[in-house]
Structure 1
Amino acid sequence: MRCLFPAVFIVLVTTGVANPAAAGPQEAALKHAIERFQPHRASYELTLERARSSDVSAASGQLSFEWADACDGWTVRQLTRMEVSRGQEPSLDFGWRFDSWEAKDGTSYRFFIDRFDHGRKSETISGRASLQAVGKAGTAHFDEPVERDVPLPAGTIFPTWHSYEMIAMAEAGQQQIWRTVFDGSADDDGLSEVSAVRSDGKKPVAAPKVGADLLAGLEAHRIFLAYYSTDPSRSEPVHEQEVLIYGNGVADDFVFDYGDFALRARLVELEALPKPKC
């Protein structure tokens, strides 16, 4: 999951022209989304949803996700592991740990990512980034794997702010937003172009079997996300997601589409995290 919710303002970055369908959510809706957010810890079971290639015979995994209030910002911790069986080929066993901190005003961000292959660490990515203001230009500094600075284009936002915008988009009845999101994990210097499309209107959801005390009676919205490279020569999405997002920020029923196969993530544990005394 890209931090979920695994992505500037009024401009459609891929064309450089204003696009009403991709404009940001109204300020009141955004403020409401931030106020309703529930810090939480969640666990998901991953199962094979579909395979488009005969090379993939089975897939499974686990995902744990924590979104906590750190007073001056939001911390996100994600741990994912996937196993994919590929017929006569060796199976794949991979995963990642993602830790980040994002200032509540959306202008500063720190990230630390470990990637694993068959239980062994294969790569570490870490660094920090800042923006002049939400949706303005900025700079990212990578400490690992190679120390370097990367300019962030005007319109960039960080992952937690993107999550707020998606919830606000859905709550306000808006159909789509298009954002440039920096989370540090993508191949294109940590940047992705992200299209988020709401598939239906506000919709009460039956009381869930997991986390009913946090989710019962809340409206939820199904959102489709497509992550694109910042390289304009690559027109197809790098990967796609479908997710059910509740008004308090909790997510369930993901589909991660990697092309040859897709995984579905279902919520199996959910607990509220206390808000700190700041």
Structure 2
Amino acid sequence: MRQLMREATLGTAILVMAALVPAQAGADPLMAHRYSVKLHQANEVDTGEGSSVRSDMTSSSWEDGEGKTYRFNTVTRSNDRTSSDVDAVATRKDGVLSVEIRKPVADTVELKGNILLPTQHVVNVLDAAAKGETLVEARVFDGSDDGDKVYDTLAIIGRPAKGDENLPETAKAALSGVPRYPVTISYFDTGKSSEKPAYVMAMSLYANGVIGSMKIDYTDFVLQGRLDSFEALKASGDCKK
């Protein structure tokens, strides 16, 4: 089947990190918080046979700043019919990431080894970028597929970009002067890092975790998005960040 991308829209919340609790004294300003992320991705693919397939994915997740707990729910619809509904909680204890899957089928999966959660991974990449490092290899759990997927990843970090991006007015004040890095992350199925990646994500990543632009290459088609709306959240309580 010949696949041509006719329309691809990444939701405005490509990556939104919301600090929900105060930072602890001396802690990493990113990982000392908890993060709530919402993502909406919609696309329409022309089959080349006079018809098209529309898919819609909505995901919400919550991750604590220490990388010990990750809650997520992902609903995928195809032509307005629900094709997948994944709901699970991952908890780390004694070096084991235990995933309690509630949907689509109740199950518990234990993942051993050094496995990062999604925001942990972003922070590791930013830490490496700040040190001038160019490569980051990591195993990453993101809850995709049926809620138990772990990817082998390779991040390639470029030098800090110069000049301003074409940012929306609401973002210019908050992001002006903040270092940003061109980052490309390849996601491989576990144990297949010598083969072609499952997908590749290229982005303009700011030092505070905001993504200015993004391209996701699935080989059969490519999704592209850019920051077109931005709201800086105000710190609550005793939070200084």
Q: Under TM normalisation by the shorter chain, which class is it?
A: 0.7 to 0.9
1:68 aligns with 2:18: yes
**Structure 2 equivalent of residue 206 of structure 1:** 164
1:179 aligns with 2:179: no
Residue 154 of structure 1 and its aligned partner are, at CA, apart by 0.9
What secondary structure, in the 3-state scheme, does the structure 1 residue paired with 2:62 have? strand
- Taking every aligned residue pair, what percent have the same amino acid on both sides? 24
Partner Cα distance (1:203, 1:232) in 2: 31
**Structure 2 equivalent of residue 159 of structure 1:** 118
1:255 and 1:263 in contact (8 A); partners too: yes
Moved over 3 A (4+): 231-234
2:56 and 2:76 in contact (8 A); partners too: yes
What secondary structure, in the 3-state scheme, does the structure 2 residue paired with 1:167 have? helix
Decide which structure has greater strand share.
1
Q: What is the aligned residue count?
A: 223
Partner deviation per Cα, 1:104-152 (whole Å, 9 max, x = no partner):
111111111111112332211011111237xx33211111101111111
Partner Cα distance (2:165, 2:214) in 1: 18
**Structure 1 equivalent of residue 91 of structure 2:** 130
1:107 aligns with 2:59: no
What secondary structure, in the 3-state scheme, does the structure 1 residue paired with 2:83 have? strand
1:57 and 1:87 in contact (8 A); partners too: no
1:208 and 1:216 in contact (8 A); partners too: no
Partner Cα distance (1:208, 1:123) in 2: 36
What secondary structure, in the 3-state scheme, does the structure 1 residue paired with 2:203 have? strand
- Give the TM-score of the pair, scaled to structure 2: 0.84
Partner Cα distance (2:131, 2:80) in 1: 43
1:113 and 1:126 in contact (8 A); partners too: yes
Residue 54 of structure 1 and its aligned partner are, at CA, apart by 5.5
Unaligned 5+ residue runs, structure 1? 1-52
- Give the TM-score of the pair, scaled to structure 1: 0.74
Instruction: Give the RMSD, CA atoms, in angstroms.
Output: 2.2
Judging changes above 3 Å, is the alpha-carbon distance between structure 1 residues 192 and 157 closer, same or farther for their aligned structure 2 residues?
same
What secondary structure, in the 3-state scheme, does the structure 2 residue paired with 1:272 have? coil
Judging changes above 3 Å, is the alpha-carbon distance between structure 1 residues 54 and 148 closer, same or farther for their aligned structure 2 residues?
closer
What secondary structure, in the 3-state scheme, does the structure 1 residue paired with 2:124 have? helix
**Structure 2 equivalent of residue 189 of structure 1:** 148
Q: How does 1:1-278 map to 2 (within 5 A)?
A: 55-56=3-4, 58-65=6-13, 66-71=16-21, 73-132=34-93, 136-186=95-145, 189-198=148-157, 200-206=158-164, 208-210=166-168, 211-232=171-192, 235-277=195-237
Partner Cα distance (2:193, 2:63) in 1: 31
Q: What is the identity, as a one-letter code, of the residue corresponding to 1:59?
A: E
